[in-house]
Structure 1
């Protein structure tokens, strides 16, 4: 029976890692496998299987795909208006030290891109920028893979955790805080690891301790505060702004002049004036402002906007509940508004912006199919009882030690799919079902659900999709195996640390 329950997941493992099948094809077939198992073995009716699939499609389209398309559109529009060139120029003017630039662009700006857009942009853009500055392409890709691990859970305006909350029923704000706490040690460690990797020795930390500590704390503290009071949408964006600010302040207060890491990155480019810089960042600033003023911190806007919604009962079987479409106070709508306003201020006409949007949707067509089918698969598995059977078996095998492998399971989901969102969809319910099976309290259930997102961060480093994006960004063919071998060396200690954090944190909560 457990083999049947696992069949969609086993198929994805084989299809994506052995057969190297496209994700959209593999996930589409996984949905058919889930249908076959639910109808043929689990006794699910055809109507209920259809309803479960439709509910999954609804969740995929609103709000998940809405956010993804809006976020990528904002980034593509910044490329179209050339504002991204201005942003790059501003970043590279901070320092000529290789280590500082890697922290600023790979860790700080990479986290910002992950928080705003996700889906590979946080590896591709910083890695390409660093390689373009003359840094070794393999080094550029390696440090960006490390940097992309921690913020992955909050990618694309917090959509992995928002989705995890939808799948598990745990408030996304609670998941955001627990995930930030679980990732806290790694948030502090990542800048140190990136610096050591840059110099291939602990000696690279000479003169950089203050930078690394500031970069870690500058990221962690804002992330924790925002996660605790606002939820997942702005947590990593706040962290990235905090860490970039901290690195810039360190560069001004403690400039580095070590000739071993000196680079000529400024050239003859003129300094960016304040107005031009503000205009370049404007769409991203507006996103931050719009999400902030419509959050719970501003109830005069938050409360009435959240009343503009429609609830529809899609799945009417056991465990089904009305699905709610929030039409205005949802991140995707606010991101689109910010993008169009920002693009207009940057001089783009409506026709140009709609053309960029059309191109964005066309380029994301396979991602759209992947997200819809993987979420539909998870819904069918959940309602049919397949996820519950997997959880029961996992708990039977590990007992009260289950929390030690919770993050590992989340990492497998991201390794398979390349997406923290997909990992949360596939295994989120499994985590809470497992928590219930070992008698966990509601807090314990939320902690293990968050562990799935935490593990997804580690899995992002070794995901074939992430490796492929990094290789494409640096333009060096045939280095996939080298990057994977490097990433595994970081992944293993990360996942061991995560296992210990989740276990002891769970024991404390219980």
Structure 2
């Protein structure tokens, strides 16, 4: 009986996989169809009322629009504005001055800069902004997105100033610092592996590692060590931010040193520039001095400064108190559930504010400002629909009990071997929602309960859920849609999903082994 419901509960997820990777359906169509499947199943098999099913969809749509779509539009707008003003040419000139080696640039932008964006903002910015920058620099769009998906995987648990880990810790009544320590211990090996994967993608295979192994190792180790220390002693707020900053400094310095010592092989030199849009101002011929560099980087600098300021409790606290709680989901048989919207202290608003300040510095006219904004919204239209469909499906599965059915089947079937599938459960949740925060809300309590039932550490198992998110998010429809929109690749999501799924599956298998057999190590260091 349970197995039958387990298969039924998986249908929306299986449909998304088949629709996008086999049928090659566009993401927005597949997402809406998955939502319809979940809607029908919730009412027929899980006996949800029409009211509860409808309001589940409504809450999912609201969550998609605020904060997720908001921050994606804000991030893409900032990028589009830098292209429109010609500032991206200045940024490109500066980045290539570090090295003209595409492998070095991939690490600097996708791994270091992307890690910082995930730590500060999350919600897709670590995919959207770095991928769009790499595309502008001349990277193949599929490869650029794929590298950003890999880079953004194991930073997710500490993304948006630690929100996913803090939320699941609060939900499960566990110490957030202990959970953070367990997470980084499980993710440590992947923090070293990911830069090497990025280099192989940028370099066209394992041959791309030739002559760059020390550089790649420095970028991974310099990220992991400070991240581990921050996670163990400070909790979930700063690990990725600290790790990314240290890695950026070390990688930048090592890249400059290496660039002076050896010539970049012809195969890895950045190719010719993409043709410029005639509507954009051509500033590429200008030598990027200090002033022009500040002007070009100003939107991104404002993003970093504003997010750092808001991460200070004295500033972020009052801003975060400006919020509204809505009672969207209705179920007469359950306690009221409120969805809270933060109007100011949310990444989308803050990134958009930084974009406005950057536009002022770059002397963008009001007409051009709204022209770029309008183009951005039009560019993102299909992505917006995809987000609404995916989040509506996730809320339907969560409120109806479908996600609980999936997790309960694994617990009852596997018993003491449950740790093998703990990361898989997190990966499934991330695939559906594209969010570490939402996945923690879906499965965090179930992971804790399962751990208690089999005599395992609750912190270790909840951490496994969060680490599993890293692989699931790598090929989640939401993540794929964000990257596709950033590089104007909408309609080719199935190609990306197939490529990302290969890495995700390998990572899930490795995580399963670490979760099952790493428990004695955790018991020794906890």
Q: The TM-score by the shorter chain falls in which range?
A: 0.7 to 0.9
Distance in structure 2 (CA, Å) of the matches to 1:492 and 1:217:
24
Deviation of the 1:82 alpha carbon: 1.6
2:419 aligned residue = 403
TM-superposed deviation, 1:502:
3.2
| Residues 468, 480 of structure 1: 8 Å contact kept | no
Which one of 311, 314, 319 corresponds to residue 305 of structure 1? 319
Distance in 1 between residues matched to 2:473 and 2:308, nearest whole Å: 25
Relative to structure 1, is the Cα distance of residues 288 and 472 closer, same or farther in structure 2, using a 3 angstrom cutoff? closer
- Following superposition, the deviation at residue 224 of structure 1 comes to 5.1
RMSD: 4.2
Alignment of 1:342-357 (within 5 A): 342-357=358-373
**Mean CA deviation greater in 282-291 or 250-259:** 250-259
- CA gap of 1:499–1:157, structure 2 versus 1, over 3 A, is closer
The partner residue of 1:371 within 379, 387, 409 is 387
Question: Which among 364, 380, 384 is matched to residue 400 of structure 2?
Answer: 384
2:19 aligned residue: 15
Q: Secondary structure of 1:43's match?
A: coil
Q: SS at the partner of 1:93?
A: helix
TM-score by length of 1: 0.79
Corresponding residue for residue 494 of structure 1: 507
Q: Distance in 1 between matches of 2:106 and 2:75?
A: 24
> Pairwise mapping of residues 74-89 of structure 1 onto structure 2 (< 5 A)?
74-89=78-93
CA displacement, residues 390-442 of structure 1 (integer Å, 9 cap, x when unaligned): 1111223332323323334555666x67x833x87578624642442342665
Matches within 5 A, 1:429-448: 429-430=442-443, 432-439=445-452, 443-444=459-460, 446-448=462-464
How far is the alpha carbon of 1:382 from its aligned partner? 1.5
Q: Does 1:126 align with 2:109?
A: no
2:346 matches 1:333: no
For 2:305 and 2:157, the matched residues in 1 are separated by: 16
Is the aligned partner of 1:92 residue 2:96?
Answer: yes
Residue 211 (structure 1) aligns with: 215
Cα offset for 1:95? 2.6
Instruction: Please give the per-residue CA displacement for 1:117-150, whole angstroms capped at 9, x wherever unaligned.
Output: 245554464266354xxxxx6xx96587346313
Separation in 2 of the partners of 1:146 and 1:284?
20
The 1:204/1:445 distance shift into structure 2, 3 A limit, reads closer
| 1-structure distance, mates of 2:161, 2:381 | 19
> Is contact 1:458–1:491 with CA below 8 Å preserved after alignment?
yes
Q: Any idea what SS the aligned residue of 1:42 has?
A: coil
Query: Match for residue 134 of structure 1?
Result: none
Deviations 1:451-505, CA, capped at 9 Å, x for gaps? 23222255479x98799789988xxx9x969x957x6765554333322333345
Tell me if 1:150 matches 2:165. no
> 1:215 offset after TM fit, Å?
1.2
Deviations 1:69-89 (A, max 9, x none): 211211111211221111111
Q: Of residues 245, 250, 260 in structure 2, which corresponds to 1:246? A: 250
Contact 2:166–2:236, Cα closer than 8 Å, also in 1: no
Give the one of 49, 56, 66 matched to 1:52.
56
Q: How does 1:462-481 map to 2 (within 5 A)?
A: none
Q: Secondary structure at the match of 1:311?
A: strand
- Contact 2:157 2:165 survives alignment (8 Å): no
SS in 1 for 2:47: coil
In the TM superposition, 1:274-293 aligns within 5 A as: 274-293=290-309
Map of 2:275 onto structure 1 = none
1:450 Cα deviation (Å)?
Answer: 0.6
Note if 1:261 corresponds to 2:277.
Answer: no
Classify 1:392/1:492 alpha carbon distance in 2 versus 1 (closer, same or farther; 3 Å).
Answer: closer
Distance apart, 1:269 and its partner CA: 6.3
How far apart in 1 are the matches of 2:321 and 2:128? 34
Out of 102-111 and 54-63, give the one that drifted further.
Answer: 102-111
Aligned residues: 489
Change (3 A) 1:110 1:309: closer
Give, in whole Å, the separation in 1 of the partners of 2:257 and 2:227.
24
Partner of 2:279: none
Distance in structure 1 (CA, Å) of the matches to 2:23 and 2:514: 35
User: Compared with structure 1, are the counterparts of its residues 210 and 269 closer, same or farther at alpha carbon in structure 2 (3 Å cutoff)?
Assistant: farther
The two structures have a TM-score, normalised by structure 2, of: 0.77
The question of 1:40 aligning with 2:44 is answered yes
Mean alpha-carbon deviation: is it higher for 391-400 or for 380-389? 391-400
Deviation at 1:354, TM superposition (A): 2.0
Provide the rounded CA distance (Å) in 2 between the counterparts of 1:180 and 1:347: 43
CA distance in 1, matches of 2:460, 2:315: 33
Cα distance in 1 for residues equivalent to 2:15 and 2:161? 23
